[in-house]
Structures are given as structure tokens and as C-alpha cells.
Structure 1
Amino acid sequence: MNLQDTSSLAPTELAPSASGSPFKEPAADGYILGGFTWRHAHQDIARPVVIINAATSVRCRHYSRFADYLFANNFDVITYDYRGIGESRPASLKGLNATWSDWGALDFEAMLKRAQREFPGQPIDVVGHSFGGCAAGLGASGHLIRHLVTVGAQFAYWRDYAPAHRWRMFGKWHVVMPLVTMVCGYFPGKRLGWLEDTPAGVVRDWSTPTDRYEKRPSGRVIHAKHGWLPFANVSAKTLAISISDDPYGTIPAIERLLGYFTGGTTTHLRIEPKDIGEEEVGHFAFFRSPYQATLWPIALSWLQNGELAPDTPGRRVPRS
């Protein structure tokens, strides 16, 4: 079994932006989170602030060029790392009690509170990549979100993986990753070139197989620790972008997550690489700077207006 499928390798664009200023922010449980802020010199209550939620174990620096782009288009921007990752990593990951639900209910919630405090009166928008789209539904203050854009956002449920890649991905993420984590006490993803190093609890949430998924899944991981499922708090106008060659972001996977967002309107845009003159895009490339002219304007239009521009590439997936 070849586990080095390039479609799921971690991203490489990690240079910090010259525009982003570092910050530290405590979550409700006292854990100190690190991130960067892009702030215009003069406050404007009509100017939105965008929080960017990263994919699982992808550093927030991967999104710095996209943050620069939003900043240049008159947004303030916050990027941050979940506990255990990048700017929010402790000296050792062994024994760190961090889960997917912590990343949403504690860490993303802290960013919503920060945006409300640091940018009073300004609209709050969110961009969520992969798990970052799930995290957007987990904050108790989700009602603050005006516009939400998700990219390849899903629960990493193995039955939803693209059939051509499913068993290779199952072996990598649901067999090898948890076994290595059991030995090391955390997942040393950076050494393997797969992910950033990842807390054991997050690995458990991702890798544990289950058949207890319904059309709208039961939310076992999210319920397990914090005991509630606040997706319905989000009343934002939501755009879910999926790419046809993303082996994680299949139509069933995207629709499974969208089934939770019952409090607002949702649109699913499906893009094929050929729609933008490319042969492949995959799971990570959306936020890389070569796509500034083709993919980034789609997210920008939605953040600005809550609508797709008439010439937007791709097709809308009918919602059931």
C-alpha cells in the first residue's frame, strides 16, 4: 500500500506575512493561543473582519498570502493556530489533552470573542478550510458570523473519501496514524511529511472508524466532550466550495457537514480543475498564491456580498 499519496500531503507555503502582527489570546480554559492580525490603521464599522480557520494540523501561516489578499480588499483578518499546532504549540505534545471539539468550542470561540473585542461593531466573517469548516459550527458565539466560506470542509469520515483513494487513505489516516500515535504519545506528522505534529486526542477523533453516521451524522466526536452541538447557532449565509479532485471533499462529505448548518442559507459550489484551466487542484491548493486570480475571487465575492458573481466557475450542487 502506497501511503504517500500527494493529494493529501501537507501544504508548503508557510512564510509569515509582513502585514500580520503576532498576538496571544487565552481560550476560556486558560490555554494560550497564538496567531496573527491584519488590521487597518483606521477602524471602520462597515469593514468586516475575517477569521480564518485552518485545516487539521495545518499551520495558520499557510493562509498568510490569502490573508494579505483579503486585507488588500478592505478586510481586517485574524489567523490563528489551534492548541498544539504552530504558534499555539507547547514544549511537548505528550499528555496534551486536545480534541477536535476543543479546537472548535474553545479555540475558535476565543477568536470570535477576540474579533468582537478588537473590532467592535464590525461584521464578522469566517473562512474554514477542511476541519476549519466544522470548527465554524462549534463556537457558542456562532450567531455572530455574518458570511461563512468553507473549502473542502468535511468530517474526514472514511466512507465519504473518494472511492479511488479510499482504502489508501483509510490505511494512512485510520491505521498507520493512530498506531504511530500510540507509540509516540502524539502523531509526529512533521517528520513523516504528512501534517504538523498532532495531539493524540485529535488523532483519535479523526481516525476512529464508526458506522454511526446518518444522512446528518450523530456528531459523536463533537458531543463526546462538550455535550452539545451548536451548529444551529450559525445563521450565516454559507458557501461551501468543493473541488472535484479533492479526495476528502466529495459531494457526500460536503453535504454531510452542510446538513448540520440548519440555521442559515447554504450554497454548495462544485468546481472542476478544468473550469479554471488547471489539470489538478486537490485538497490544499486553494489557498496557494497561484490561485489568486481564479479561486480567491470566489471567496472574496461571497465575503463581500453573500453572493456568487455571475461568471463564477463551477456548478451549484442541488440541495436535498
Structure 2
Amino acid sequence: MNLQDMPSLAPTQIELSLTTDTAGEPFKEPAADAFILGGFTWRHASQDRARPVVIINAATSVRCRHYSRFADYLFANDFDVITYDYRGIGESRPTSLKGLQASWSDWGALDFEAMLKRAQREFPGQPIDVVGHSFGGCAAGLGASGHLIRHLVTVGAQFAYWRDYAPAHRWRMFGKWHVVMPLMTRLYGYFPGKRLGWLEDTPAAVVRDWSTPTARYETRPSGRLMHAKTGRLPFASVTAKTLAISISDDPYGTIAAIERLLGYFTHSTNTHLRIAPEDIGEEEVGHFAFFRSAYQATLWPIALSWLQTGELAPDTPGRRVPRS
């Protein structure tokens, strides 16, 4: 099978407006297993123990540079910021992805955990907040030090259970992510997403986690291994005030998908805010656009307010989804 022969499977073709420049200072950080992770730090010249530091967890196979303008915005509003790439992606990519042992649970338990430890070390005594996009919201619950998180904001956060996809797109998305993606991964030893225009190239074990069609994270391949070691998953260690933002035209982040993930954060105070594009004067937003600078005046203040106060401002657009 040739890459040129692959169908586009529109309308779920992924197009990212990648920020290639960054005002952040590059760093290298070893995870607990010595894998070297790369990322960027936005650091104010003077330390202030009252100033929070925000860790941004990317979506699956989206480079951390995609979030640079959002990091600039947080920095301008008196936050220190850490962005980073999971192993196998962007600044944390080795020469070859073939044979790389990197799963979703590795991205959370090893990579995100390393960033929590880095935040503790580099910004001692400062509150630690987290923003998680898509799988990045799930990763926020997989670090052993999740109890350190003060405020958590997730955007379209879920772990790709296919029955939760929006009905109008479900079967096309199933074909793309649960049939074509694992097939291409088997052929190449990793998913050649960059050549297809479907996100970044992706490690094989991450593809296995994503494409496994089960409703519980602990029944995904790496989730099963994590659960078998302790009999539980780390999510319950997170006690942060949590805001889960979902967009009504996001085919991944449906209400069912967001609530499925929130159900794992059993010891945090969770608020689910559902926003329709028309609530902010737009025709469409979707899964990836939240972090584009076009939404600095409309969507970014929602996340900012929560990070600052742990509350929604009275004039916040959208509606709260009742917790079941």
C-alpha cells in the first residue's frame, strides 16, 4: 500500500496552525527511565512564590510548539510556563521511531511526571497548574505526583472511545483512527502521520492505545499494564479544581467523551463547561482551534480565569453540563 493511495477520509483531516517560533527557553529533562525529553520554559526574571507555573500537556502527536502563543499569553498574565513534547514527538523525538517503547501511559506516568518534578525543582514553592488538550487531559491523571496540581483546565479531553465520537462523523473517524492508523503502523513500525498530514509521526504503542476500541482506560494496552501493577490508576491522586472545556462542534470531545474521562478524577472538584461556536460569535471551532491566537479574546480568558481563581467569571460563555 502506498501513502499516495491512502484516502483523505475528510472531513476529519487534521490541519494545525503550528507556531514555529517560541519565546520559551529550550530545555532537556530526563524522565525516570532516563529518556531525554525536550521542551520550553517561559520564566520571569524574578522568582515569586505566589506566581503559579503552568504545565501544558499537548494532544496526541501534536508538537508542543502548537501551544507557544497560548504560553506567551499566560506568561504575559504573570504565569511561568512549561511546554514539552512526549517521547517520540517533536523536541523529544529520537532518530527513529521503530522499536521505540512509548505508550499513552508512558506519556503520562513518565513524561508528564517528569514535568511535575521539573516544576517543583525549577520553581520551588510555586503553585503548579496544568492545561491539558485532548489526551493531555488524560495524561494529567497518570502522573504519580498528581496531588501537586492546584488548578487543572482540560480542552476536549478524552481517550478516543469510538462510540463517543459525534454520530455524524463516527464511522469515518473509526475507519481513519481505528482501522487505517493501526494498519499503517503495522506496515511501517510506527504511524507515518506527518507524510499523511494526520498529526505527527507516532510511536506504535501509542497507536495501540488509541485504536483499541474499549470504553475503559484500564482496558487499553498500557492502561491494563498500569492497572495490573497497583490495582488502580493514579487519577484519584488529583485533587485539583478542574475545569473541563468542551466545544459543541468537536467530534472527539462530545459530552459523553468528556464525562467518561472526568469520571476517573474522583477526588477533584470537576466543572464541565460546554461552549457552542455561536456563543463566541463563530461558525466553527472544532477540536484543535482553541489554542490558536484568533481565540485570545474569546476562549483564552476562560482558561486564564480558572487558572487564576479556580472559578468561572460571571460572563463566561457556554453552559455548565450537569454532573450525573
Aligned residue among 66, 72, 76 for 1:72:
76
Partner Cα separation in structure 2 for residue 130 and residue 121 of structure 1: 28
Q: Which residue of 2 aligns with 1:48?
A: 52
Q: Which residue of 2 aligns with 1:14?
A: 19
1:5 aligns with 2:10: yes
Partner Cα separation in structure 2 for residue 81 and residue 219 of structure 1: 24
Q: Which residue of 2 aligns with 1:31?
A: 35
Aligned residue among 143, 168, 176 for 1:164:
168
User: Structure 1 23/218 Cα, relative in aligned 2: closer, same or farther at 3 Å?
Assistant: closer
Aligned residue among 253, 277, 284 for 2:257:
253
Partner Cα separation in structure 1 for residue 217 and residue 194 of structure 2: 32
Aligned residue among 120, 127, 133 for 1:129:
133
**Secondary structure at the counterpart of residue 261 of structure 2:** helix
Partner Cα separation in structure 1 for residue 219 and residue 34 of structure 2: 25
Q: Which residue of 2 aligns with 1:277?
A: 281
User: Structure 1 267/8 Cα, relative in aligned 2: closer, same or farther at 3 Å?
Assistant: farther
1:310 aligns with 2:314: yes
Partner Cα separation in structure 1 for residue 120 and residue 11 of structure 2: 39
Partner Cα separation in structure 2 for residue 298 and residue 2 of structure 1: 37
Q: Which residue of 2 aligns with 1:204?
A: 208
Counterpart residue type for residue 125 of structure 1 = D
Partner Cα separation in structure 2 for residue 116 and residue 192 of structure 1: 39
Counterpart residue type for residue 108 of structure 1 = F
Q: Which residue of 1 aligns with 2:111?
A: 107
RMSD: 1.2
**Alignment TM-score, normalising by the size of structure 2:** 0.95
Check conservation: 2:236, 2:265, Cα contact below 8 A: yes
Cα deviation 1:205-232 (Å, max 9, x = unaligned) = 101223xx3xxx3522253233340100
Check conservation: 2:13, 2:197, Cα contact below 8 A: no
Q: Which residue of 2 aligns with 1:266?
A: 270
Q: Structure 2, unaligned stretches of length 5 or more? A: 1-5
Q: Which residue of 1 aligns with 2:3?
A: none
Partner Cα separation in structure 2 for residue 147 and residue 272 of structure 1: 24
Q: Which residue of 2 aligns with 1:140?
A: 144
Q: Structure 1, unaligned stretches of length 5 or more? A: none
Counterpart residue type for residue 165 of structure 1 = H
Q: Which residue of 2 aligns with 1:219?
A: 218
Partner Cα separation in structure 2 for residue 2 and residue 245 of structure 1: 23
Bigger drift between 21-30 and 201-210 goes to 201-210
Check conservation: 1:60, 1:86, Cα contact below 8 A: yes
Partner Cα separation in structure 2 for residue 82 and residue 246 of structure 1: 23
Aligned residue among 231, 235, 238 for 1:231:
235
Partner Cα separation in structure 1 for residue 246 and residue 266 of structure 2: 19
Q: Percent identity?
A: 83
Check conservation: 1:3, 1:169, Cα contact below 8 A: no
**Alignment TM-score, normalising by the size of structure 1:** 0.96
**Secondary structure at the counterpart of residue 33 of structure 1:** strand
Check conservation: 2:12, 2:173, Cα contact below 8 A: no
Give, in angstroms, the shift of residue 8 of structure 1. Answer: 4.8
Q: Which residue of 1 aligns with 2:245?
A: 241
**Following TM superposition, where does structure 1 have runs of at least 4 consecutive aligned residues deviating by more than 4 angstroms?**
none
Cα deviation 1:251-308 (Å, max 9, x = unaligned) = 0000000000011100000000000000000000000000000000000000000000
User: Structure 1 108/10 Cα, relative in aligned 2: closer, same or farther at 3 Å?
Assistant: farther
Partner Cα separation in structure 2 for residue 104 and residue 2 of structure 1: 32
**Secondary structure at the counterpart of residue 125 of structure 2:** coil
